[in-house]
Structure formats: C-alpha cells, structure tokens
Amino acid sequence: MSNTMSMGTRVKLSAMMFLQFMMFAVFWGALATYVTNNKWDAMKPWILSTMPLGALASPVIGMVADRFFNSEKVLAFSNIVCAVMLFMAGRATTGVEVFVCLLIAMLFYMPTWSLTASIAMANSPAEQFPQIRVFGSIGWVASMFFSIVALKAFGASIDGTAIPFYCGAGVAVAGALVALLCPATPPKGKGQPLSVIDALGLRAVSLMKDKNFAIFMLVSFVAMIPFNIHFAFLSDFLAAKGFKLLTATNYIGQAAEMGFMLLVTVAMRRFGVKWSIVAGLAAMVVRYGAYYLGAGDMLPAIYVGILVHGIIFGFFIVGGQIFVGKSSPADMQSQAQGFYGLMTFGFGSLIGTFANNRLINSFTTRNAAGVLEGSWDKVWLTMLACSVVMLVLMAVFFNPKLDEKTAA
C-alpha cells in the first residue's frame, strides 16, 4: 500500500470508481419494475438474483488478479464483457434471455467491486480510501440524470424500459478505457505454488480462523438479507406508493452517501472499526422502521429510510472493506475482498433475493396496472426485526483487535 498519492493517481482512481458504479446503477435501480412491466413474474427472482450470482465469481477473479494478471487489466477486460452483455440484454425479448445476458454480465461485473477496492488500496494510503470510494457514490447518483434528462428533454420515461441497459453498456466501455489508465497493479502472489483452493479463489477462507473475522463475515452474510430488499425491490414499493421518478427517488440515498462516505475515516479514527460498523447496522434498523411508517400514511418517512442508505453503505459495507483489507496479508488482498463480496453480495444477497421475493409475494398482489399492492407494512416489520437481531449480534460479539488509530 502506497504511503503517498499523486494528484494524477487520485484523479484516475476517482474516475475508475465513478464509472464502475455508474454503469450498474443506471439500469439496476428500476430493474424490478422493468421485469414487472413485462410480466415476467416467474423469472423475476432469477433476474434479480444475477447480481448475487455474479458475486459468487469474486474469489476466482480475485485469485486471477492476485496470481496472474495486473488488476487494472482484469478490470478492463471485465468491463468489456459487461458492456457486450448489457447491450444484448437491451435487445432481449424474453425473461430467460434477459436472465442469461445479465448473469454473464454480473459474473464479470460484481467482482469489480472488490477489484476496484484492491486497486485503490494498493495505490493510496488506507485513510484516503473513503475519499476515493466516494466517487463511486457520485457516479451512482449521476446515473439518475439519464432518466431525468430523458423525461425533461424528450418527455419520455426510461425507467422500466430497456434503454438503461444501453446506457450501462456505454458507461462500461468508458470504464474499460479508464481502467487501462489506472496505475499498474501487478499480482503480488505471482509465481507462488497454486493449489485447488487457490484456483477456486478460496485461500481467503483461512482468515476465518480468526474469531472476529469469522463473526464479522457471518453477521454480514445474514445482514445482507434485509439489505437486499432495499437494493432489489425498493422500486416496487415506490411504485405502489405512487412515486414516478423511481430511479431518481431511489438514488437520493446515494446522494447522501457521498457526504457520509467522507465521514468514515473520521468515525473509524474516533470510534474504531467496531462501532463504525455497528453504526451502519443501526442505520439499517432506522431504515426499515421508517419504511414501516411510510407503508402507512407517513410518506415522508420513506425519504428518511432512503437517506440513511449513506450511513449503511459507508459505515457497514465500506467500513467492512477497510476492516477486511486491514485484516488480510498483502498477497491475499484481492482474494480477501473477493471473499467478502462472495459472503455479502454473493451468498447473502442470493438468499435474500429469493427470500424477499417470497416474503413480498406473501403480503402483496398485483393490481390491474401491474403494481404490487398489499401489506407492505408487514414486509418492513419483518426486515426491521431481522436488522435488530444483526445489530445486537455485531455489537456484542464483534471485538476486532486492530489498532483503533490506524483502522481507517
């Protein structure tokens, strides 16, 4: 990890984060509504599961970056594949075709969340990582301008259509070009003996021998079930409550995330790794309490639930990445981040997608307009209870031994 960072490197890494998260955000935010509009009900959980299924490849891609190729080149190749498959998803006419295209795209895209973190951490001081990562949040927020411009300039809403796929493909091409401009990040484990475990990218599993690392991973894994319902199904809830600009409304949380991301470093220095991560889980409790109230007559509470996304993602997810980075040896950084992605956005989100889809279908029904109406309050009450349990477990049992002054 570098002790200094030039302005040129900062700009390149920031641009990398900006485009990497924009390419996903531009189409994912209203994907559930797109599937609902096309009446692909049977394929809905499968299409929405492509994100967590893609995350299952994170350890393997991490192993490739740790052992064989420069990380920035792996990132560029992944983005090109993603661009091609998003373009094909836009042309697909059946739910099965969309699923196949998105599955391939996500198998190459989702590992890049861990890969970009590894590239940034390898070329910048750890305490400056949140300052680089915040540009991912900025890119996420900026993605909503595609739908806003379409509505204001052309009087057409692209939310719930195939157009966002094409937008994502274009951004992915730009992301591939920027990746090649990023600092060379060679594989630190190149030349080391390769076992079957290494080939599967699972050497990072050995880190689970540490009690606190294991507790963090297991609680994070389960916590992704309530986290996932906001990520994958919020547009359905917003549509049921009469919101029009689904993507823009959804991404208000990412706008708040930009500010909270910059506070991660300060919080970790002041309160340490544990309580920063616990704060992120506490914000998730606030979110689902707010959505529960919003499901009734308190619509403004929905905005509260969306706004605290910045605290959840910044302190829980990004704080978790920092913890994993600090807890892993140099030659295992990409695999460790990939393992974290596997446990959270992989297995956790995969189970969450199917469980949450079943939960929503148990309490809602489709009306004549195709909107899911019903007892959303029961959905959010269930998520609230789950979040409270995860908060208590992390607060009581997670006690990392990292130096609090250097944790961030």
Q: What is the pLDDT of residues 201-248, one digit of tens each?
A: 577 888 899 999 999 999 999 999 999 999 888 888 888 888 877 667
pLDDT for the residue 407 = 43
- Burial of 195 by CB count in 10 Å (0-12 exposed, 13-18 middle, 19+ buried)? exposed
Residues near 401 by beta carbon (within 8 Å), at least 6 away in sequence: 212
pLDDT for the residue 109 = 95
Query: Closest Cα partner for 359 from 335, 327, 384, 334?
Result: 384
pLDDT for the residue 408 = 43
pLDDT for the residue 125 = 79
pLDDT for the residue 97 = 96
Rounded Cα distance, 178 and 15, in Å: 7
Please name the residue ranges forming H helices in 342-400: 349-363, 376-397
Residue 10 is classified by DSSP as H
Residues near 10 by beta carbon (within 8 Å), at least 6 away in sequence: 124, 132
The pTM of the full predicted model, rounded to 2 decimals, is 0.76
Residues near 238 by beta carbon (within 8 Å), at least 6 away in sequence: 246, 249, 250, 302
Instruction: Return left, alpha or beta for 272; rule: phi > 0 is left, psi -120 to 50 is alpha, else beta.
Output: left
| Tokens at 163, concatenated | 């157009």
Rounded Cα distance, 97 and 32, in Å: 16
Rounded Cα distance, 99 and 40, in Å: 11
| Helix pair angle (95-109, 111-122), 10° resolution | 20
| Tokens at 136, concatenated | 């991912």
pLDDT for the residue 37 = 82
| Tokens at 179, concatenated | 């990746």
Beta strand 372-374 pairing with 364-366: antiparallel
Asked if 201 and 63 touch (Cβ cutoff 8 Å), the reply is yes
Q: Three-state SS for 49? A: coil
pLDDT for the residue 381 = 97
Q: Which domains does the chain have, with CATH numbers?
A: 7-188+195-397 (1.20.1250.20)
Which segments of the chain have a pLDDT < 50? Answer: 2, 403-408
Q: Taking the CA atoms of 71, 72, 75 and 76 in sequence, report the sign of the dihedral they define.
A: negative
Residue type, 249: T
Query: Closest Cα partner for 163 from 93, 105, 101, 89?
Result: 89
